[in-house]
Structure 1
């Protein structure tokens, strides 16, 4: 006869522990294998390395302005490939590829040699992106060649290295298309590695080996309108992609070199020793003078001297605002980047705390040329860009400016400066001082006169 107590008895605690351990071990193995084989990695293990420089901006980071990172007319690279609204320009890429290959052939370059050169870069290309691309080797390499040659043909035509009849080409004749392409080529999610462009250009035998940076600058200068001497300073930069190249061109050369020298020194003040700035109107009320720095090559070249905050002109339009947003994103994600653009945006965000501040810097000081619309939009733009960014002030090229402005707006100095700054306060104080001195002199004279009178008696 079966003992019922054996059937319905509760298993021992050790039985449950073994069962739980078995389940956990099984899931650890299965989940790891499944994550490696089935689901594409959204953040590769290599994303923190120097090789990884093209990132998809996370939704949390982009939620305040998600369209700022999305291409409007042309996809470059894998992240936005196949977008329905991008098909119009996609249809012209093959035409540009054939034009490029024709030019290469005329210069003695074999197309298969060119293709093989890109094929050999496949692993390096994959390591440049922060997530698993999920593309086959064939599709990925073809995409790099198609997009890379499209970009190079744009550069070659605009910089006049090759002659092309643009009079009937819609890319160049319809006014809004080329500026839109310019902006799209400077989005963080819309990049191909710079070494792909360099390889295609070198293997094609079109132009001189050092021409690529110069051609890129000529192309983007359609919207930036900088003098030739500005670009000459940056012709030898080695960038990760086009966005990085333009980002580097904003960095003031002398301050960049100084920053590189001091950044590795020990004894740098901790971030707790610094505070952010007051707004522009409040700083002005505390005695800080604002001046347009008209001799600066870069808008980042901000100086503070003799209690004057010298700020270069900022022409704020859709093109520049897009560059700023995407450069900040790049600096937030690329582990080997400096934080120059982030520093500038945080600095200007402090000054432009309200619509009144934007009006003050636009109308009274002519530091900002506003093509946004209202001054409130200018203030809101900087608030949006600064939201949730990680900013370490003691690694900022502006750390001394932050510190000096705060030091010179301390309570006693601000009081002194505010009295000097206001002519009415100065007149009032001068009158009080002179009046007091006259009263003192009169009292002394009266006393001396009284003493003489007593002596004569």
Structure 2
């Protein structure tokens, strides 16, 4: 009896211990939009998700590792305050405005930011936010660049900076940037450009190399990476409820009579298939392309309020490009513009969306039409006829001569019969 009583007491102690550890709220808030990339996606190349030059936000705060860029941030902030473009341009105003929204800011991140005090968190938001705004204004020549500014003076910085700006774990909430932007915006005509347009003006040259567009100011952006995602998804199909449908690669489609054409330069993901012609907008693949697309895919995989637009685009291109021959044909057509070797770009497509889960596929209807066209016989026969008999003027002349001889032989036979 005594032993039974002891066991009950031990069980109660353990139950009390577990009860104290229970968590009543989800570790990720409903408003979370700046995620830690899961190990499932990170394991393929962890370096593609971590900053190498500058840390933005609380996730990669390492003063020693980023000592150089932390000094640049504080220098930019000092320049902004000294310039004093508005009466609200002061540290006190910045801190007051961010502190008023600190709860919403914290909800944008995962649980680990709760380890920071409110003052530490607000300090990060103010310093990093003012740095980004000041950088975009200098890039647009709204604010004169200093001759000794390392971010514009040293050419190697350009590539690593744009890459770090577009990492999922290296983001600030968009409303933080807008709040600080509005507090420091002057009434000068040259500065009456919205923040989203200033950001795009920088990224379109360094991340896309696409045609300039006017950014839709009604877009509800969550951070810089989300802004870029909203822009590149413009003009794309609405996601379908049906899942992924594989299609043949470029080489197989060519054999089935499918032709390829270059689509609109300003609508990256607007892919169409009409009358046997697959139209794909041109894609410029820079050194930072894999990091950019992988972070976009990770963002879609973490936030289920988003559709699978970028993930679906990667899956579609992965199906098309199975070999260097497939890629070379798309390059010759001007659909793929490579700044890397053909082998590197081919490997990039084939591993781009590994371990990503695709539920809503906007290219489902297009894929169904492509598969139907591929399986029909007449387009394949027509393609073979064109490839074997109409691929050069001499082949055409030979075919015409053969037909004439055949007709004359038939007429001679018919004449002999009568």
TM-score scaled by structure 1?
A: 0.80
In structure 1, the partner of 2:105 is 125
In structure 1, the partner of 2:282 is 313
Q: Compared with structure 1, are the counterparts of its residues 233 and 435 closer, same or farther at alpha carbon in structure 2 (3 Å cutoff)?
A: farther
SS in 2 for 1:318: coil
SS in 2 for 1:315: strand
- Distance in 2 between the 1:382 and 1:332 partners? 18
Contact 2:57 2:170 survives alignment (8 Å): yes
> How much does 1:165 deviate?
4.0
1:244 aligns with 2:211: no
- Distance in 1 between the 2:414 and 2:9 partners? 100
Q: Note the residue ranges of structure 1 that are not aligned, 5 or more in a row.
A: 1-5, 450-457
1:63 aligns with 2:63: no
CA distances 1:345-397 after superposition (whole Å, capped 9, x unpaired)? 111111111222222322x4232222122x221121122222111113xx333
Q: 2:253 aligns with which of 277, 280, 283?
A: 283
In structure 1, the partner of 2:86 is 107
CA distances 1:423-456 after superposition (whole Å, capped 9, x unpaired)? 4289799889888777766666555x2xxxxxxx
- Distance in 2 between the 1:383 and 1:83 partners? 37
In structure 1, the partner of 2:349 is 382
* Structure-to-structure mapping, 1:22-421, within 5 angstroms: 23=11, 27=14, 29-34=16-21, 36=23, 44-46=27-29, 49=30, 51-82=31-62, 84-103=64-83, 105-109=84-88, 111=90, 112-133=92-113, 134-162=115-143, 164-206=144-186, 211-223=194-206, 224-228=208-212, 230=213, 232-253=214-235, 255=236, 259=238, 270-271=242-243, 275-293=245-263, 295-362=264-331, 364-373=332-341, 375-392=342-359, 395-421=360-386
SS in 1 for 2:278: strand
SS in 1 for 2:147: coil
Q: Note the residue ranges of structure 2 that are not aligned, 5 or more in a row.
A: none
Contact 2:233 2:309 survives alignment (8 Å): yes
Contact 2:34 2:168 survives alignment (8 Å): yes
SS in 2 for 1:337: coil
Q: Compared with structure 1, are the counterparts of its residues 437 and 100 closer, same or farther at alpha carbon in structure 2 (3 Å cutoff)?
A: same
Q: How many residues align?
A: 407
CA distances 1:166-201 after superposition (whole Å, capped 9, x unpaired)? 212222211112332122111101001001001111
* Aligned-CA RMSD value: 3.2
Structure showing greater radius of gyration is 1
- Distance in 2 between the 1:199 and 1:420 partners? 64
> How much does 1:141 deviate?
0.6
Contact 2:256 2:374 survives alignment (8 Å): yes
SS in 1 for 2:268: coil
CA distances 1:112-170 after superposition (whole Å, capped 9, x unpaired)? 232111001111111111333111111001110011011011011111222x3421222
CA distances 1:16-68 after superposition (whole Å, capped 9, x unpaired)? 9x958973x7545533533649xxx9x7242xx2x211011122211111111
> How much does 1:288 deviate?
1.2
Contact 1:291 1:311 survives alignment (8 Å): yes
CA distances 1:208-252 after superposition (whole Å, capped 9, x unpaired)? 676211211122234134444x1x143442210000101111123
- Distance in 2 between the 1:388 and 1:193 partners? 27
- Distance in 2 between the 1:425 and 1:33 partners? 80
CA distances 1:307-353 after superposition (whole Å, capped 9, x unpaired)? 11122222211233322111111111112112221111111111111
Contact 2:86 2:183 survives alignment (8 Å): no
- Distance in 1 between the 2:80 and 2:317 partners? 43
